């Protein structure tokens, strides 16, 4: 870890600004690529800042729900297999809330502007669904 | 990309082969000019060019080259797309007129050439630009007219679509594609499970476009000029095309206008019925809208997979990977009833 400036967050922000500025001078495919590249850096900056904490929270949540341990990817795979097998058909609301938490966490990193106000904090939906 | 010698060489070689392909069909004195490439599509590379005759005439054409050739491809082979274009063009559905199909001697891979249709496809421009205000007022009506005419076509004319996985079982087809990427997306699983549990009664098969939506329609100030992108065509329930057209992702931030972010379901239904379309089962359409969100999420998994695997590296495809959760969010909100 270097102490030199700019810090990694600032480096990413600087390149994002550059891509945003250059996109305005481009058109067609080049402009679209530049905007996509800026978007990806935007995601990377948020993930560097919040990703580890989100992953840890999700791992704890999944371990509690599935009552087993493993890596985040393994447990997400097991959750998916169980949903497909119908294991949670009678616990639809619980599994729905769990998956909604996972999805809103990802959207918080990728496109927080797309979240409805009730999902921009820590609160999770409680509406009954079936 | 001017500085990349490999790309320049490939482009020069492709242009030379395209010229040869044109001369094999239109004579040795034919030439090509004004080549331009459109954005990389989901399954095709699109090259626009002028076919110039010796009398000085020029005809703007479009080469569509297949770029997605992996197993579990959700797209029809180009020769099937070409046959379909010939069929629907003959019947009078507005499509780019098919010109010729590539063959092995062309050395350009699989693809075909159609006539260029001028107009706009970018949804945000269609939704907001003043010049399309008149076209917007007729958009949902024209969608209803076109889909009613398409769904009225005798599907035996497109019997080569019978073996397309989506013609047999659309949910199973999506599941198989999703499984082929070996990635875990619990929200997609939840969507697939919901679709499985709430599946509507099967209906008689009709010819479906399979990707009829804002973004795949060429529009000018008068209205819809052409329906593009027939690579997802198959046989199935007409409600599927209607559900896909109304899927939230194609409303582009204008959710209160379900028909492509521009028109209403009432406008669409009136035109669909008055042009011979069957009674619309809105409950089934809702199921197909959920299906549409699941399908669109899986298509984004496919694009991200193509980028990560190195088979189709592309910045927008990388961005697709981070768009999946946004579609999943729409899916979850739709399942909960918070979104219509």
Burial of B155 per CB tally in 10 Å (0-12, 13-18, 19+): middle
Name B84's Cβ contacts closer than 8 Å, sequence gap at least 6.
B76, B158, B161, B230, B233
pLDDT at A126: 45
The mean of the pLDDT values for chain B is 94
CA distance B289 to B34: 41
Contact B47, B36 (CB under 8 A): yes
Strands (E), chain B: 31-37, 44-52, 58-66, 98-101, 111-115, 206-208, 217-220, 223-227, 234-236
A114 touches chain B (CB under 8 A): yes
| Mean predicted confidence (pLDDT) in B299-309 | 94
Nearest CA in chain A to B335: A129
Length of chain A: 130
Peptide bond into A6 cis (omega under 30): yes
Summarize pLDDT for A33-78 with one digit per residue, the tens: 999 999 999 999 999 999 999 999 999 999 999 999 999 999 999 9
CATH topology of domain B5-115: Phosphorylase Kinase; domain 1 (3.30.200)
Q: pTM to 2 decimals?
A: 0.93
Sorted by where each begins, the domain ranges of chain B are 5-115, 123-335
Choose the closest CB to A29 out of B39, B190, B338: B39
CATH architecture of B123-335: Alpha-Beta Complex (3.90)
Render the burial of A54-92: b for 16+ CB within 10 Å, e for the rest.
Answer: beeebbeebeebbeeeeebeebbbbbbebbbeeebeeeb
Closest CA to B100 of B174, B22, B158: B22
A37 touches chain B (CB under 8 A): yes
| Mean predicted confidence (pLDDT) in A95-106 | 97
Inspect the interface and report whether the beta carbons of B325 and A80 lie closer than 8 Å. Answer: no
A interface mutation test: which of B322, B328, B330, B334 has the most A CBs within 10 A?
Answer: B322
Closest CA to B63 of B41, B94, B84: B41
pLDDT at B220: 98
Inspect the interface and report whether the beta carbons of B184 and A107 lie closer than 8 Å. Answer: no
**pLDDT at residue B9 tops 60:** yes
* A1 vs B157, more confident: B157
Nearest CA in chain B to A114: B326
B308 touches chain A (CB under 8 A): no
Report ipTM for this prediction.
Answer: 0.92
**pLDDT at residue B120 tops 60:** yes
pLDDT at B71: 72
Inspect the interface and report whether the beta carbons of B184 and A43 lie closer than 8 Å. Answer: no
End-to-end CA distance of chain A: 49
**pLDDT at residue B41 tops 80:** no
Nearest CA in chain A to B189: A80
Going by pLDDT thresholds of 50, 70 and 90, the confidence category of residue A3 is confident
Contact A45, A16 (CB under 8 A): yes
Strands (E), chain A: none
Inspect the interface and report whether the beta carbons of A89 and B197 lie closer than 8 Å. Answer: yes
Closest approach of chain B CAs to the CA of A119, in angstroms?
10
The mean of the pLDDT values for chain A is 91
CA distance B240 to B234: 11
Distance of CA B69 to the CA centre of its chain: 16
Going by pLDDT thresholds of 50, 70 and 90, the confidence category of residue A124 is very low
**Which contacts (CB < 8 Å, 24+ apart) does range B169-173 have?**
B170/B234, B170/B236, B170/B240, B170/B291, B170/B295, B171/B195, B171/B196, B171/B199, B171/B291, B173/B74
Contact B271, B278 (CB under 8 A): no
Choose the closest CB to B189 out of A33, A37, A83: A83
For the record, the structure tokens of B280 come out as 């619309």
Going by pLDDT thresholds of 50, 70 and 90, the confidence category of residue A129 is low
Nearest CA in chain B to A32: B316
């Amino acid at each position: 870890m270097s102490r030199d400036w700019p810090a990694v967050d600032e480096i990413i922000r600087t390149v994002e600004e550059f891509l945003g500025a250059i996109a305005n001078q481009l058109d067609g495919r080049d402009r679209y690529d530049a905007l996509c590249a800026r978007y990806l850096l935007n995601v990377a900056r948020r993930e560097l800042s919040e990703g580890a904490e989100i992953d840890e929270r999700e791992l704890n949540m999944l371990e509690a729900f599935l009552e087993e341990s493993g890596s985040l990817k393994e447990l997400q795979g097991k959750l998916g297999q169980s949903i497909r097998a119908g294991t949670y058909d009678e616990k639809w609301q619980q599994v729905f809330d769990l998956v909604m938490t996972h999805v809103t966490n990802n959207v918080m990193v990728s496109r927080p502007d797309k979240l409805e106000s009730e999902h921009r904090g820590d609160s999770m939906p409680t509406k009954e669904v079936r | 990309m001017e500085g990349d010698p490999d790309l320049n060489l490939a482009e020069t070689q492709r242009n030379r082969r395209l010229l040869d392909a044109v001369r094999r069909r239109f004579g040795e004195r034919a030439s090509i000019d004004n080549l331009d490439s459109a954005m990389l599509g989901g399954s095709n590379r699109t090259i626009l060019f002028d076919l110039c005759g010796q009398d000085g005439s020029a005809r703007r054409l479009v080469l569509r080259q297949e770029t997605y050739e992996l197993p579990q491809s959700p797209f029809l082979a180009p020769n099937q797309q070409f046959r379909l274009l010939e069929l629907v063009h003959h019947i009078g559905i507005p499509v780019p007129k098919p010109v010729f199909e590539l063959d092995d001697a062309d050395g350009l891979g699989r693809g075909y050439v159609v006539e260029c249709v001028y107009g706009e496809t970018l949804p945000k421009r269609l939704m907001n630009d003043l010049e399309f205000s008149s076209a917007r007022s007729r958009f949902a009506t024209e969608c209803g007219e076109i889909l009613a005419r398409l769904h009225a076509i005798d599907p035996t004319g497109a019997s080569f679509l019978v073996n397309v996985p989506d013609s047999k079982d659309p949910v199973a087809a999506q599941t198989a594609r999703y499984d082929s990427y070996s990635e875990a997306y619990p929200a997609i699983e939840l969507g697939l499970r919901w679709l499985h549990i709430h599946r509507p009664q099967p209906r008689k098969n009709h010819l479906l476009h399979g990707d009829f939506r804002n973004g795949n329609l060429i529009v000018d100030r008068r209205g819809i000029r052409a329906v593009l992108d027939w690579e997802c065509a198959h046989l199935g329930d007409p409600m599927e095309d209607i559900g896909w057209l109304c899927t939230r992702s194609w409303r582009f931030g204008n959710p209160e206008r379900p028909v492509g972010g521009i028109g209403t379901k009432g406008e669409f239904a009136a035109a669909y019925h008055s042009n011979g379309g069957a009674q619309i089962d809105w409950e089934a359409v809702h199921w197909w809208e959920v299906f549409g969100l699941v399908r669109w999420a899986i298509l984004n998994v496919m694009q991200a997979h193509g980028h990560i695997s190195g088979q189709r590296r592309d910045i927008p495809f990388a961005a697709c990977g981070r768009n999946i959760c946004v579609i999943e969010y729409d899916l979850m909100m739709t399942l909960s009833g918070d979104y219509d």
